[in-house]
Amino acid sequence: MEDVERGEDVERVADTDRLVIAGEELGSRLIMGTGGAPSMQVLREALTASGTELTTVAMRRVDPSARGSVLDVLTGCGIRVLPNTAGCFTAGEAVLTAKLAREALGTNWVKLEVIADEHTLLPDPIELVEAAEQLVDDGFVVLPYTNDDPVLARRLEQIGCAAVMPLGSPIGSGLGIRNPHNIELIVERAGVPVILDAGLGTASDAALAMELGCDAVLLATAVTRAQSPARMAAAMRHAVEAGRLARLAGRIPKRHYAQASSPFEGLATSG
Amino acid sequence: MRVIVNGEPRELPDGASVAEAVAGVTASAGVAVAVNDEVVRRSAWDATTLNEADRLEVLTAVQGG
């Protein structure tokens, strides 16, 4: 870390400090989703501005009337595709969807999502663990979307998941990180990358995730439903980089009272 | 013979293959098929024949997550 203190090397740290998932290096710690973008053109501009190298897609029945392909956008941008199991309520549905994604897209990586209900979209931990076990046994690189529960995160890692992805708050809510303490607990004990997934609303939320020690963030709605998706994507890119650098820099401890930054000695006197 | 493709009934000739059923809904790459909840590899589409009332799911990547 001494290199960081020499000004000319600070930017180089950002270049060499790579996210590694399942032995594969990624040049960006911002993982994007594609849901919610009003058009493929807006999506392309936002993904380009974000600098992401890994982006999620969902798997659905083919629609002969669909115009434009999200896969074409990702391929055109040189972005690796990460299929998810969004919308699955049971382990069985999620496992089948993951297998279909592997066949359709030629990747054994999967963002595993097993939700409990449509109202909260919160993960169902029982079904999630069951699906994770089956997929790990079948050779998948499993990235599970999970509750901000340190115990569950630990169990998912023990099963063999390649990362854990705790939520900041419910999907699409924009409420940010509601339990930063739990995220810190997950980070402290994790031996695999921790990716803050879901609930981020704006750039400061992403910076906070990184300052708490997360290895990456995954977000979609905050960008795709922003008034200017490309601008927000660029903001998120900078926020993730800033938060990561701040984490590596080591923040000062919080204090109850002030601590003068100017010396008291040598003050002028009057009267 | 009647099979169910993505939730819709479809008439196919007896002994039709998975490849023929898929051709009826899409010509795109990046597609995967399950028959009765089991994935059928693309390399096996031609050789896999369908039976009356089989359920096919034909999926592709869309925006999401």
CATH number at residue A208: 3.20.20.70
Determine the pLDDT at residue A15: 67
Q: Which residues pair with B58 in a beta bridge?
A: B33
> Is residue A176 in some structural domain?
yes
In terms of DSSP bridges, do strands B2-5 and B55-62 run parallel, antiparallel, or are they unpaired? parallel
Tell me the C-alpha distance between A54 and B62, whole Å: 15
A217, part of any domain: yes
Residue A252 clears pLDDT 60, i.e. is over it = yes
Q: Looking at the domain assignment, is residue B65 inside a domain?
A: no
What is the per-residue pLDDT across A17-68, written as a single tens digit (0 to 9) for each?
Answer: 899 999 999 999 999 999 989 999 999 999 999 999 999 999 999 987 777 7
From B43, B38, B40, B52, select the one nearest B1 (Cα to Cα).
B52
Q: Is B64's CB within 8 Å of A86's CB?
A: yes
Residue B31 falls inside a structural domain: yes
DSSP 8-state class, residue B11: E
Q: Tens-of-pLDDT digits for all 65 residues of chain B?
A: 999 999 999 999 999 999 999 988 887 788 999 999 999 999 999 999 999 999 999 999 999 88
Confidence band, pLDDT 50/70/90 cuts, at residue A199? very high
Mean pLDDT of chain A: 93
CA distance A60 to A123: 20
> Looking at residue B43, which CATH number applies to its domain?
3.10.20.30
Torsion sign over Cα A53, A56, A60, A66: negative
d(CA A165, CA A143): 7
How many domains does chain A divide into?
1
* Per-residue pLDDT reduced to its tens digit, A211-220: 999 999 999 9
Residue A47: name the closest of B30, B63, B60 by CA.
B63
How does residue A1 score in pLDDT terms, banded at 50, 70 and 90? Answer: very low
Tell me the mean pLDDT in the region A248-265.
91
Asked whether residue A190 is domain-assigned, the answer is: yes
Contact B32 A104 (CB under 8 A): yes
- Rounded distance between C-alpha atoms, residue A28 and residue A157, angstroms: 22
The 8-class DSSP code of residue A111 comes to: E
Nearest by CB to A58, from B39, B42, B62: name it: B62
Query: Is residue A266 included in any domain, yes or no?
Result: no
Please say whether the beta carbons of A113 and A94 come within 8 A.
yes
Q: Could you tell me if residue A77 is inside a domain?
A: yes
ipTM for the predicted complex comes to 0.92
Q: What is the mean pLDDT of residues A216-241?
A: 97
In a domain, B17, yes or no: yes
What band does A206 get if pLDDT is binned at 50, 70 and 90?
A: very high
| A58 interaction partners in chain B (CB closer than 8 Å) | 61-65
Rounded Cα–Cα distance for residues A247 and A261 (Å): 22
Q: Nearest CB to B65: which of A64, A69, A220?
A: A220
A199 annotated to bind ligand: yes
Instruction: Give the separation between CA A143 and CA A31, rounded to whole angstroms.
Output: 12
Cβ pair A100:B37 closer than 8 A: no
Domain boundaries, position A245: 29-61+69-249
Which of B37, B42, B58 is opposite residue A61, by nearest beta carbon? B58
A111, A155, A244, A247: the catalytic one is A111
CA distances from B39 to A218, A259, B34, B36 (A): 29, 65, 4, 8
Q: Chain B partners of A96 at a C-beta cutoff of 8 Å? A: 34, 37, 39
- Residue ranges of E strands in A62-208: 80-83, 109-112, 141-146, 165-166, 195-197
Contact list in B for residue A97 (CB cut-off 8 A) is 59
**Closest Cα partner for B39 from B62, B57, B19, B26?**
B57
Cα distance between residue A217 and residue A211, in whole Å? 11
| pLDDT at A16 (0 to 100) | 77
* Type of residue numbered A112: L
Nearest-Cα distance to chain A for B38, in Å, is 8
Judged against a pLDDT cut of 90, whether residue A110 lies above it is answered with yes
pLDDT of residue B25: 86
| Residue A16 falls inside a structural domain | no
Contact A135, A128 (CB under 8 A): no
Distance, in Å, from the CA atom of B61 to the CA atom of A110, rounded to the nearest integer, reads 13
Model pLDDT for residues A119-166, shown as the tens digit of each residue: 999 999 999 999 999 999 999 999 999 999 999 999 999 999 999 999
Q: With respect to residue B25, please indicate whether it lies within any of the assigned structural domains.
A: yes
In a domain, A76, yes or no: yes
User: What integer pLDDT is reported at residue A13 of this predicted model?
Assistant: 59
> Residue A79 phi/psi, 5° resolution?
-105, 135
Give CA–CA dist A219/A136, Å, rounded.
Answer: 24
Q: Is residue A254 annotated as part of the catalytic site, yes or no?
A: no
Task: Please indicate if the annotation marks A220 as binding a ligand.
Answer: yes
Query: Is pLDDT at A96 greater than 80 in this prediction?
Result: yes
Checking if the pLDDT of A8 tops 60, the result is: no
Instruction: Tell me the C-alpha distance between A206 and A193, whole Å.
Output: 16
Residue A9 has pLDDT above 90, yes or no: no
Total count of domains within chain B: 1
Is B51 inside a domain boundary? yes
Distance from CA of B64 to the nearest CA of A (A): 4
Domain range spanning residue B15? 2-60
Using the predicted structure, report yes or no on whether residue A2 has a pLDDT greater than 50. Answer: no
